[in-house]
Each structure stands twice: as structure tokens, then as C-alpha cells.
Amino acid sequence: MTLTPDLLDALNSQRIETPSWGYGNSGTRFKTFAAQGAARTIWEKLDDAAEVHRLTGIAPSVALHIPWDEVEDYGELKRFADERGLEIGAINPNVFQDEGYKLGSVTSPDEKTREQATQHLLDCVQIMKQTGSRDLSLWFADGTNYAGQDDLRARKHRMRAALKRVHDALPEGTRMLVEYKLFEPAFYATDLFDWGAAYAHCLAIGDKAQVLVDLGHHAQGVNIEQIVAFLLDEGRLGGFHFNARRYADDDLIVGTSNPFELFCIYAELVSAATSSDALTRSTAQSVAYMIDQSHNIEPKVEAMLQSVLNCQEAYAKALLIDRDLLREAQAAGDVLGAHRVLTDAFKTDVRPLLSDLRAEQGLSTDPIKAHRQSGYQHRVAQERGTQSGGGGYPVKEKAHSV
């Protein structure tokens, strides 16, 4: 397996965004274990993200969560990131932690609560202007726990109205990514419950609205790569929250329990990026590849490195698919021949290829080993100590268990 110029080009331009919340302490509803050296503030989270980027070369942006990562001066934060070779990525408003959101945020039956939540989303649009972010990433915990608790159509209308207001406040060249989730924390009905609901809202509110696919947000057995293919073809796939799961929204290290699914998703993206249809092509080229994982017992930086590297492997394998052969087999109705073309690529060990790529890029050929040998973890453990809870500046809502 050699690094052809095409492969090199494609692999050089791969990008993965890491989430600020993946660097702080987080846990389950049972316990948040304090990790030695876990980042306590957004500044430390950016330091960790810079370490992941330094070692992988493909993770130059960091998603923020507001207010967990709230600062007084976002210009200063942007400069701080810039000095570390990083950019501020998607802004994730938090409309699920205030007392007032017990019955929902933008879909709450209470008008004042809806207004407060919508204002927070609009404030986040202002933050995007200061951080230079392209994407506003929206996830709502909104929903109901019992049949009859609230009017489902009224809630749909409230969601539509809020999304529309925020959409219309977005500056040119920016987008809102609408994330859906089957359940949790609502257990009877979630207002944005699947890709169809998110897609219908996006379609109704405007061109800057696109769907975000979190790999942990579907029912068991749902074919996520087919959703990806469909949304790409409709020009409405905005981005991903990559993670792995076996049961529900487990938010584990990407590609650990489901490498074939991750590969099939990348296979659709690679195929769409060279589609003869201009909309499909440009949609594929604008996809935001973000990781959304929360660590309970894993060392944070190494866990994030592993996720980024697993995305790189999945993408490299997807690039190896022999497209001509695949088309021929498909056209000939050669069921197993076509499948074999795909699995041949999936079964290829791309680690030597990626090691060559890193050598080309002047990186260490084994980022995990390099991280383990760098002393970074030891140094931050000394400097930061062991703190319970997450981080934030100024100190605000800290604990994170979603």
C-alpha cells in the first residue's frame, strides 16, 4: 500500500474537531471520577486540544459549550487558541441545566422560559461572531416523560418558532446544526426525536439549517450510513458528533465498538465528495466532523487521541475502496462481489500507510506512543492536581453528566 498523491491530498485535508467538554472531568449519573490532571478551565482544555493536534496534525479546532466555557473576552480566547495553532469551532449553547428548563427550554409551555432559552441561543450567535465560528450546534433536552404531559403539536410549533428566530439571526456564511436524539433525558417524547424531525424543521426554516448526526442518538439497529447518504443527497447533512456506543448514548471513544459502521459512514462521505451532483458534492465538502465524547474512566487526552486516530483510519480505508470495481459489481447485480469490494478496503491494515503519512508531515509515526513518552500527562497531573467536577471561567455550572 503506497501513499499516492491523491491519497496524500485527501488525508492531508482531513479535519476532526474535538469537544472542550471531553477534556474535563465527566461521568455517569452514578459517579464522576476525578482524573489526575484533567483540565479545569477552558484555557487548560485548549492546551489539551493543542496536544491532540500537535500529535495528530488533523484536529485543529475545538467546540465550545456555553456557559461551561464562558469567558469575559472571547477575542482573548481566540488569540489564546491561535497561539496554540487552534481555532474555535462550533458553539454549543446549553439550554438544559437551568432550573427553569424542567419542562423544556424552547418548547416549554411557559412563554418566559422559551424566551430565556431563545435569548441564550441568540447570545451564542453573538459569541460566534467573536470566535469566528462557522457553526452553531444545537441540541435540546426538550421533551416529555408521560403521555398527555403536554401537547405534542404545540411543542413542535414552539420548536419551529425558536429555530426560525435563531436561523434568521445567523450571519452570512454561518450555519445552525440541528441535532436529534431518540430519547434521554426525556423518556416519553423528545421534541427532536429523529433525523426526519430535524430535517423537516431545517427544510422549513431556511438554507442555513442543517442536520447533525450523533452516532449515539438512534434506536438499536438503525442504519446510520443510510441516513448520512440520504441527507448528503438532499444537501442537508451539516455535521457529525462522532462517538461509539453499544447501548444508547454511551459517548465512548469513536470506532471502539463499531468500526465497520464508522467505515461505512466514511464510505458514503467519500462517495458523495466526488458525486456528479454539485449540491451533494458541496454538502459533503462542508460537513463538520466533530467528536462528542465524555470520559468517565479514560485518561482524557489519550482517549481523544484514540478517537481522532480511529477517524483517520476509517477515512483512509474508505479512500481505498475501488470505486470502479464497486460500480461494475453493482451494475452487474453481483451482490457478494460488490460487498467484497467494500470489505477488502475495510480489512486493509492502513496503519503502515498512516505511519508513512505522519513521517511525510513531520509528525511522530505513533502518536499514542509519542504521547505516552512525552511526559505531558505527568506534567499536567503535577500542575493541575486532581479536582472533582468540570471546569469553567468564570466559575459557573460545572458538573457534566450528559
Residues that bind ligand AOS (CB under 6 A): 21, 65, 92, 139, 179, 181, 214, 241, 249, 292, 402
CA–CA gap between residue 255 and residue 20 (Å, rounded): 20
> Between residues 24 and 57, which has the closer beta carbon with respect to Zn ion?
24
SS (H, E, C) 161-176: HHHHHHHHHCCCCCEE
> Between residues 121 and 318, which has the closer beta carbon with respect to ligand AOS?
121
> Between residues 214 and 302, which has the closer beta carbon with respect to ligand AOS?
214
Q: Which does 21 bind (CB under 5 to 8 A by kind): ligand AOS, Zn ion, none?
A: ligand AOS
Q: Enter the C-alpha cell of residue 308.
A: 481522532
The set of residues, in sequence order, having a beta carbon less than 8 Å from that of 100 and lying 6+ positions away, is: 108, 110, 113, 116
> Between residues 223 and 386, which has the closer beta carbon with respect to Zn ion?
223
Q: Which does 243 bind (CB under 5 to 8 A by kind): Zn ion, ligand AOS, none?
A: Zn ion
- Helix or strand holding residue 87 (H, E): strand 87-93
Q: How far is the CB of 56 from ligand AOS (least distance, A)?
A: 22
Q: Which does 175 bind (CB under 5 to 8 A by kind): Zn ion, ligand AOS, none?
A: none
Q: How far is the CB of 290 from ligand AOS (least distance, A)?
A: 9
> Between residues 21 and 199, which has the closer beta carbon with respect to ligand AOS?
21
According to the binding rule CB under 5 A, does residue 65 interact with Zn ion?
Answer: no
CA–CA gap between residue 116 and residue 104 (Å, rounded): 11
> Between residues 67 and 216, which has the closer beta carbon with respect to Zn ion?
216
The set of residues, in sequence order, having a beta carbon less than 8 Å from that of 179 and lying 6+ positions away, is: 137, 138, 139, 192, 198, 211, 212, 213, 214, 217, 241
CA–CA gap between residue 302 and residue 288 (Å, rounded): 22
Q: Which does 92 bind (CB under 5 to 8 A by kind): ligand AOS, Zn ion, none?
A: ligand AOS
The set of residues, in sequence order, having a beta carbon less than 8 Å from that of 246 and lying 6+ positions away, is: 252, 257
Q: How far is the CB of 20 from ligand AOS (least distance, A)?
A: 9
Site for Zn ion in 232-271 (CB under 5 A): 241, 243, 249, 251
Burial level of 247, CB count in 10 A (0-12/13-18/19+)? exposed
Pair type for strands 61-66 and 17-19: parallel
> Between residues 216 and 367, which has the closer beta carbon with respect to Zn ion?
216
Q: Which does 54 bind (CB under 5 to 8 A by kind): ligand AOS, Zn ion, none?
A: none
> Between residues 367 and 390, which has the closer beta carbon with respect to ligand AOS?
390
Distances (CA, A) of 120 to 91, 108, 168, 394: 12, 14, 15, 17
Q: Which does 370 bind (CB under 5 to 8 A by kind): Zn ion, ligand AOS, none?
A: none
Distances (CA, A) of 74 to 199, 233, 354: 31, 36, 36
Q: How far is the CB of 387 from Zn ion (least distance, A)?
A: 24
Q: How far is the CB of 25 from ligand AOS (least distance, A)?
A: 13
Closest residue by beta carbon to ligand AOS: 139
Query: How crowded is residue 201: how many other Cβ atoms within 10 Å of its Cβ?
Result: 22
Query: How crowded is residue 246: how many other Cβ atoms within 10 Å of its Cβ?
Result: 11
Which residue from 191, 214, 225, 268 is in contact with Zn ion, where contact means CB under 5 A? 214
Spell out a b/e string for 50-67, using b for 16 or more CB atoms within 10 Å of the CB, else e: bbbbbbbbbbbbbbbbbb
Q: How far is the CB of 179 from ligand AOS (least distance, A)?
A: 5
First and final C-alpha spacing in the chain: 41
Which residue from 69, 142, 225, 292 is in contact with Zn ion, where contact means CB under 5 A? 292
Residues that bind Zn ion (CB under 5 A): 214, 216, 241, 243, 249, 251, 292
